[in-house]
Chain A
């Protein structure tokens, strides 16, 4: 069974010649099991995006390792950025084909799953933000990655659209399971999506609590159940209150 081990001893940013470097991450250890959906919850500016950039291979200036075991390989990553980052001059289908080698049937299946079957020849500028977000999710899945990174992908969507896209994401993930590391500061969203929650403190980033979400998937759309779980969390883990 392949598992992902993330060990980051140090990630610092230089602050000019006179100041000492600012340490953003210190001795962070996270393990992801096969097809596990993990949500990272932490305050704004705690270094979540920095962590995702390290995992995506966009930032190599750190001490530590990110390896799949037992293969000891660097994971192939699919990244859903906060902003969809679609190439505006390429059609939806071209955007997907550029990022992945998936067959046309696979891309058609993914587009249909996300309700975008009719938009594959459209240019991104002609689509709504919600549609663009869905395409960036499809792009990440289409690469068939070892690890899916999602950086608050539903931020700035109106609540009904966010709920709809979140459900589509869960449906797609259940059809095509992958390891997911999902960053959010919305605890309700995290509870509705994750198998496990990891709470992060800032300056420097470190794990303060880990919680398994044992609500059956079928009940995750029920607001009352989510709210009840959330309230219980505050009782069982009082240290997370300051993060939210």
Chain B
């Protein structure tokens, strides 16, 4: 039984169980509203072959990358400043709470109303939704910085850039990774809503179309494709980054 407890066995086992359960439920219900995994796979392959899925997925990924990058860069910068300056933090704390509590849908609608149904408005809406989360996470990380190491940098005259790169950033790494992971999960959901409401391409637009046609197989095919991409980002980019940043630990 011991070999079953290995992670390399457990992960595929759990995924297989998920698909078996899905298949069993689909056969049992025998309904168009829940197609089985084989049908969904056929649709997925067909959508890839026609080029529709790569096109719309590409559009969504483009919006995700742009808005994610802007939100992370701005959020990190604002979070560090607020974490390091108490008075600014007191002043802007309420702003953060307000932005954090505005429903995503409201921001999206307002951006489209104020700036038109444009690409810029779409990306701005996503950034505004994500920015407060990143800022708060990084602000908490900055507040928890080791004061002794900051004193060391000051005493040995590291200068601002060197202090940021070698003293502050490595301590913020776990917070940045947490913001990245929660950010990816949050942003792609918001991007879909943005596309559904005001764009004529992207996954959100397609899903809305499939919803009107009650085409559940296509909805599931697009969802699987997107989850696969996010998993690939986790495995190929985030995990290696984590491993590299943690190499100094015992």
Q: Which residues of A contact B (CB under 8 A)?
A: 53, 56-58, 77-79, 81, 83, 85, 87-90, 98-100, 123-126, 139, 143
Contact = CB atoms under 8 A, between A and B. Distances in A.
A104 B22 CA distance: 63
Contacts of B245: 89
Contacts of B167: 87
B249 interface: yes
A143 B155 CA distance: 11
A90 B156 contact: no
B150 to A, nearest CB: 10
Given A53-B151, A87-B166, A98-B156, 6 more contacts: A57-B155, A85-B152, A89-B170, A89-B248, A98-B158, A125-B250
A125 B245 CA distance: 14
A125 B155 contact: no
B154 interface: yes
A99 B248 CA distance: 19
Specify which of A77, A98, A143 lies most central, judged by the most chain B CB atoms within 10 Å of its CB.
A98
A58 B148 contact: no
B162 interface: yes
A132 B247 CA distance: 18
A78 B155 CA distance: 8
Interface of B: 148-149, 151-152, 154-156, 158, 162, 166-167, 170, 245, 247-250
B250 A87 contact: no
Contact of B156 (A123, A125, A126, A143): A143
A125 B248 CA distance: 7
5 contacts: A56-B155, A58-B151, A78-B156, A81-B148, A99-B156
Nearest to B165: A98
B149 A85 contact: yes
Nearest to B156: A99
Contacts of B155: 56-58, 77, 79
A81 B170 CA distance: 21
A98 B166 contact: yes
B156 to A, nearest CB: 4
B148 A85 contact: yes
A74 to B, nearest CB: 11
A81 B152 contact: yes
A89 B156 CA distance: 18
A100 B167 CA distance: 15
B249 A58 contact: no
Contacts of B247: 123
A87 B170 contact: yes
A78 B157 CA distance: 10
Contacts of A99: 156, 158
Contacts of A83: 148
A55 to B, nearest CB: 10
Nearest to A98: B166
A126 B247 CA distance: 11
A98 B170 CA distance: 14
Contacts of B248: 88-90, 123-125
A59 B84 CA distance: 17
Contacts of A81: 148, 152
A126 B250 CA distance: 6
A60 B167 CA distance: 22
Contacts of A88: 248-249
A29 B248 CA distance: 44
A125 B250 CA distance: 6
B66 to A, nearest CB: 30
Nearest to A122: B248
A166 B241 CA distance: 41
A98 B162 CA distance: 8
